[in-house]
Amino acid sequence: MNKTIHQQMFQQMQSKQLFEQAKQYAYEYADDALERNVYPSSQALNNLQQLHEPLPLTTTSPAAIIEQLHHIGSPATVSQIAGRYFGLVNGGVIPVSLAAKWLSDFWDQNTPLYATSPINSTLESVTESWLNTLLGLPKSTVAGFVSGSSMAIMCGLSAARYRLFQNHNWDINTQGFQGAPRIRLIAGKQAHGTVVKAASLLGFGSDNIEWVDVDDQGRILIEQIPPLDSHCLLVLQAGNVNSGAFDDFSHICKAANEAGAWVHIDGAFGLWAAACQSLKHLTKGIEYAHSFSVDGHKTLNTPYDSGIILCTDKDALINALQANGSYIVYGEQRDGMLYTPEMSRRARVIELWSAIKYLGAQGIDDLVVALHHRAVQFADELKRAGFIILNNVVFNQVLVTIAEPIPTQDKPHILQQITQHIQQSGECWVGTSTWQNQPVIRISVCSWATTEEDITRSVSAFKDARAAVI
């Protein structure tokens, strides 16, 4: 007689064979990842078609599932754990964080309350306090562990919305927007798209954002910021997603704070400059802001699904995000769901905690400054090879164009072709962007695994691509 599905699953948990198989494949992948082409081959992409199968009606062998995932899936990944992926702002993976994630995958903790996972709750408290020390934030700052900066920005603006309305005797939670006093959302013209998304989702309306002009690096122009008062929510950024530039917090945050405005800092990747002795001048003055969004999965190189909302106004954050239900019993200890929009949530703090514990303050400093040094190296070598660098490389971002005189209307196409050539070489991966109405090639150095040789090798790919296209 065939075993029932339930009997099979008990057996799978006991025998561990499946996990051994997955481990074997994972190791094969890791061994290959450093040297393989960064982007999947067209063959690997074509093979993805095989996954379009009809819904299985009965059970499939688990070993076959894992095998299919490895044989079709692994080659169709973008090699992001190696050192030559420079798209988006991605970050590699800290080995001990990955190992900690593996272990805790078996725990499968749900984390809304201390009662549902004491270990998660404890690690959240510890990590919260470590983050405050690392980033130089007020001791009272609380942290919520969310999926990424998109969600962290939502949380920061939600807390701001709650507090600013409350200061005008309006409870946004119960009274909503209709008939509410006016709250003004003010941001630099180079604010990240997720800020605009949050403005839409939270009912501010993206058309109502008051945009402030920026300088040639994308920094908000202080003298263009309208006079601030207690109706204002100002969004600044630590790390422009193209140029890596930082707003001038020391001249803005304190004054905004004194005027009764709320300041949120989008520091998705750049806030980590605050943890680096030689770069922390970039974040001077952030301690006067009210909320901060930052990722673990970018600059800090934790595995994905790691964003953090930091808020100096605990009461506002909790009130903005809190949910109630007869079966939810908040305790004396930290209940994580008070600080996040989600209720059920995986124990993502584990990867962050293990990365910080492994690196320590000094290791984080070394990690961040190395990204900066590799970016500067990239820019220098490209300049020597006759490319033009359009931004001041203050952090990890480099914006590149070609020096050859090309008619303006042909430039987007030529740069696109060069970029495609680089991508198809498999040597490295870079994307394109627009900077001051010009098309550019955009580089983000954000993996600990990027070596000096990786940079030199990638610059060669740039030269080859230029030679092939022009």
Ligand X SMILES: *Cc1c(COP(=O)(O)O)cnc(C)c1O
Task: Provide the token pair at 317.
Answer: 């954050």
Q: Shortest Cβ distance from residue 275 to ligand X (Å)?
A: 17
Cβ-based nearer residue to ligand X, 158 or 194: 194
Q: Shortest Cβ distance from residue 297 to ligand X (Å)?
A: 6
Cβ-based nearer residue to ligand X, 150 or 312: 150
Cβ-based nearer residue to ligand X, 75 or 239: 239
Q: Shortest Cβ distance from residue 241 to ligand X (Å)?
A: 4
Cβ-based nearer residue to ligand X, 194 or 354: 194
Q: Shortest Cβ distance from residue 271 to ligand X (Å)?
A: 10
Q: Shortest Cβ distance from residue 240 to ligand X (Å)?
A: 7
Cβ-based nearer residue to ligand X, 155 or 164: 155
Task: Provide the token pair at 333.
Answer: 């200890």
Cβ-based nearer residue to ligand X, 117 or 190: 190
Cβ-based nearer residue to ligand X, 72 or 88: 88
Residues that bind ligand X (CB under 6 A): 89, 148-150, 192, 194, 237, 239, 241, 266, 268-269, 295, 307
Q: Shortest Cβ distance from residue 262 to ligand X (Å)?
A: 18
**Residue number of the CB atom closest to ligand X:** 148
Cβ-based nearer residue to ligand X, 295 or 365: 295
Q: In what order do the strands lie in the sheet with 262-266?
A: 142-146, 307-311, 291-295, 262-266, 232-237, 184-188, 210-212
Cβ-based nearer residue to ligand X, 150 or 340: 150
Q: Shortest Cβ distance from residue 446 to ligand X (Å)?
A: 10
Q: Shortest Cβ distance from residue 153 to ligand X (Å)?
A: 6
Q: Shortest Cβ distance from residue 94 to ligand X (Å)?
A: 17
